[in-house]
Structure 1
Amino acid sequence: MAYAEKRGTGKTPWRARYKRPDGTLGSEPGFRTKKAAEDWGEDQEAAIRAGRWQDPEKARTPFAEFVPIWMAAQKVAPATVIKRQRLLTRHLIPGFGTTKLCEINIFTARAWGNKQTCAQSTVNHALTLLSMILTGAADAGYLLANPMYGRRRQSDRAVHDVSQQQGEVAHAPDDDEEVWAQPEDAYRLYQRLGGVEGLMVASACYTGLRWGELAGLHRSNVLLPRVDDLDGKPFERTVLRIDPKVGALHEVEFALEGEELASWHKAEDERLAACLEKGWKANRRKEPKGQVRLYLGPPKNKTSAREVDLPPFLVKLWERHLAEWSHDYVFCTPGAAGAWWRRGNYSRVLRPAADGRDAIPVKRGFAGRGEWAPILPGFTMRGARHTHDTWMKEDRVDRALRFKTQGWAVTGDIEGVYEHVTPQMRKERLDALEARWERGKRLALAQVS
């Protein structure tokens, strides 16, 4: 039976003593009266008998101590592990590392988020991860429940800059909003970039593929014929296939450890020795924390392994491209080696095409370049995926085919269980995309003339 003990003479001299599930005595200090301590202890023993007891000691576990336990229980893609580790080491551990799990709630999370100077999207991702970890703490018996579950964590209200004159209001930009394209914008980018780079933009806008699915697309998985029955007649279509095992290119930063780190130091020693032998001055480079690697692997989820119908104009462009293309991957770099694209490398191609660039005059060793006016500032390859879904919604493409095309899973939705893709849906989508291409081409050429 629970009882109370007096410890000291301060304002809260009483502590509760109660029997834990394993038979040992537990204690909780900080009570003003003997009665309050006894009541608390009896509540604990009642909760133990009812099977709903939560150990107060576990709830006081520092956040940084529970994180490795939670991370070890997760089974996610390497890229997700790296992203979570980055958010933890750069943001959450410095902010909550020594904080007890039971002291983290929606108010402390909001207060922390309001003090951050990084992008709002980064803050939101960090708080989402924090909430996931607290849910894990509840599942593991460290907390009764996640106090952040289902709660709005950041305000979308405008940010007022009191330093601005004449009562003007500054609005914080929405970091998560993607720039999407109209058909004429997509065609102008396709023309300006040209080659495989331009075809990548057009293909992303008219298929909705993710970057990794597009960059890792093998020629054996494209231009595949399919035949359906539509009104008693054959309906022929051409598809691309996202392979369930190697259908996406992954770009992940792995930590350098053990032999790999030793190999890096050996190569650096050899580089410095070669420079010294030639009489060159060279400094030792900073030891890298990680190494970015490219590899083929499964797409984002099971439903991402799919077939996507190609509109007729894109079939013709791909046939012409592959007839002249000597590489195995449809959208690799145009050099002789045909290497996989890195996101940063392709961004250096896309950014000036979308955002515009200044002219550089001819000078010694440089042929010069012309000025490019902006076409669609801020447009990205993720924005191309947004573009495709926006177009499908505008063209009234049935939801079943939209989800199928984008590789989205339908969960907890009875409509998704009963709806299916039909040949008529596919035909209507392809007809709408073909019409968009022709309209975009006509408008883009009209703007030039």
Structure 2
Amino acid sequence: MAYAEKVYKVRNGKQTKQYTWRARYKKPDGTWGSEPGFPTKKLAEDWGDQQEVSIRSGTWIDPEKLQTAFGKWVEIWKTANKKRPRTQSSRAYLLDKLLLPEWEHTPLTEVNNVFAVKAWATRMAKPHGKHDPDTVAQARSLLSTILSGAEDAGYIPANKLYGRRILVGTDHHEEEEEVWAQPDEIYRIYRRLDGVHALMPLVDCYLGLRWGELAGLHRDNCLLKREDRIDGKPFVRHVVRVDAKLGSLHEDTFELDEDGLADWHRAEDARLEECRAKGWKANRRKPPKNVVKLYLGPPKNKYSAREVDVPEFLVRLLGEHLEAWPHEHPFSTPGGQFWRRGNFTRAQLRPAADGREAVARKRGFAGREAWEPILPGFTMRGARHTHDTWMKDDGVDRALRFLTMGWVPKDIEGTYEHVTPEMRRHRLQRLEARWERGKRVAGQGSAGDPKKS
């Protein structure tokens, strides 16, 4: 049975006549637990009795666990929740920039407070704070996920954030819609660029691949021949295949381990030595905490490993490109390296879609002509939006749309519907018609762009 005992205060190393009460109660393992700081004996005994009632009913939470610092629990939680590198890097950013600076040393029982979280979100989000409201909302969602883990592990009785809608930010602006292209717009962008740079957004609009699937595509998975039969006659088509194991290029942030840090120092030593040999002044840089790596791995989910039918005009263009291209990955840089998404967008797609100013010829620079805007704000993600929009507009069956885009069929209809050769032929015919339409319309009013067949 729980009981209370006096705890005398000590001042300057000497016991005084002032005291508080400490509750003592028997824990599930038979040892005695305690909680100090009660002003009266009755309050201490009542609190101890409540602990023993909770222990008998199976709802007891160890007070020591309730006082676990949020940062300490996060480390425990991360070891039990291994995710894909992209997810891990996103979570690491939200923890380092928003959650840990606020809650790292705060006990879980205090973090698990709806009012405190609302106040924190208001301070973090623009215009009061420096973070975008969407980023703060993602951090709040991650916080709820972490607290749910604490509930499951018996560190808190319940996650009070679960199911609670917390508005983030005060600006109720509409989210901008992704920019998608008409056939003539993507054709004009294609004509404006050169070589592989021109082919990449065009292919993405007509195939709907994710960026990583396009940038990581291997030539061995291009233009594979498939044969079906329609009304007893052969129907031959060509596909690109997104491989289940190495079908996507990933660009993720990793924490530098000891070996990675040693490699960085060796590279830095080599850089400094090269600078000294050339007579340049150079200072040693500060070692980074993280490193960004490009690597091939599985696509987003098991449905993303798929084959996408290629329209005939693109079979010809892609075939010509593969014949002249010396590298394993058809949509790499001209030097054969993997593209970083931001580099391709900034250097190639933004000027082609948004337009650019002319630069006069000068010594060491041949100059360049001005480009008028074609489709401001268009991105490679917008190219994927474009393809699904076209399929929807062309009446492509839902089963084939889901298969082409690599989406997960979550309903009963997705379980029972299947793709037929007739569906495939319809989609390819409609894409071919869009290509011809795009050339025709663009040719009527796009003077000034470089001509390309």
TM-score range, shorter chain: 0.7 to 0.9
* Residues 1:326 and 2:326 aligned together: yes
1:85 matched residue in structure 2 = 92
1:384 matched residue in structure 2 = 383
Aligned-pair distance for 1:97? 1.2
Code of the aligned partner of 2:162: Y
* Residues 1:133 and 2:146 aligned together: yes
User: Per the alignment, in what secondary structure is the counterpart of residue 430 of structure 1?
Assistant: helix
1:168 matched residue in structure 2 = none
2:58 matched residue in structure 1 = 51
TM-score, normalised to structure 1, is 0.86
**Cα distance change, pair 209–32 in 1 and its aligned pair in 2 (3 A):** farther
Aligned-pair distance for 1:241? 0.8
Q: Is the 8 A contact 2:122 2:168 kept in 1?
A: no
C-alpha distance in structure 1 between counterparts of 2:431 and 2:43, whole Å = 72
C-alpha distance in structure 1 between counterparts of 2:338 and 2:250, whole Å = 10
1:421 matched residue in structure 2 = 419
Code of the aligned partner of 1:61: T
RMSD between aligned residues: 2.8
Aligned-pair distance for 1:247? 0.7
C-alpha distance in structure 2 between counterparts of 1:60 and 1:52, whole Å = 17
1:174 matched residue in structure 2 = 175
Code of the aligned partner of 2:404: T
Residues 190-339 of structure 1 correspond to what in structure 2 (within 5 A)?
190-335=190-335, 338-339=336-337
Code of the aligned partner of 2:97: R
1:446 matched residue in structure 2 = 444
Code of the aligned partner of 2:118: R
Match among 50, 59, 68 for residue 61 of structure 1: 68
**Cα distance change, pair 321–269 in 1 and its aligned pair in 2 (3 A):** closer
**Cα distance change, pair 201–278 in 1 and its aligned pair in 2 (3 A):** closer
| Unaligned segments of structure 2, at least 5 residues | 10-18, 125-129, 448-453
User: Per the alignment, in what secondary structure is the counterpart of residue 448 of structure 1?
Assistant: coil
* Residues 1:109 and 2:114 aligned together: no
How many residues were matched structurally? 431
Match among 33, 42, 57 for residue 26 of structure 1: 33
Code of the aligned partner of 2:55: I
Q: Is the 8 A contact 2:252 2:293 kept in 1?
A: yes
Aligned-pair distance for 1:364? 1.0
C-alpha distance in structure 2 between counterparts of 1:30 and 1:391, whole Å = 69
C-alpha distance in structure 2 between counterparts of 1:340 and 1:346, whole Å = 10
| Unaligned segments of structure 1, at least 5 residues | 160-170
C-alpha distance in structure 2 between counterparts of 1:416 and 1:16, whole Å = 60
Code of the aligned partner of 1:372: W
TM-score, normalised to structure 2, is 0.85
* Segment drifting more, 400-409 vs 215-224: 400-409
C-alpha distance in structure 2 between counterparts of 1:106 and 1:179, whole Å = 37
Deviations 1:327-362 (A, max 9, x none): 221111123xx2221223212211111222111011
Deviations 1:412-439 (A, max 9, x none): x333322322333323332332333333
2:158 matched residue in structure 1 = 145
Aligned-pair distance for 1:101? 1.8
**Cα distance change, pair 207–16 in 1 and its aligned pair in 2 (3 A):** farther
* Segment drifting more, 38-47 vs 108-117: 38-47
C-alpha distance in structure 1 between counterparts of 2:247 and 2:398, whole Å = 24
Deviations 1:338-390 (A, max 9, x none): 22212232122111112221110111111111111222222221222222223
User: Per the alignment, in what secondary structure is the counterpart of residue 375 of structure 2?
Assistant: coil
Aligned-pair distance for 1:407? 1.6
* Segment drifting more, 361-370 vs 143-152: 143-152
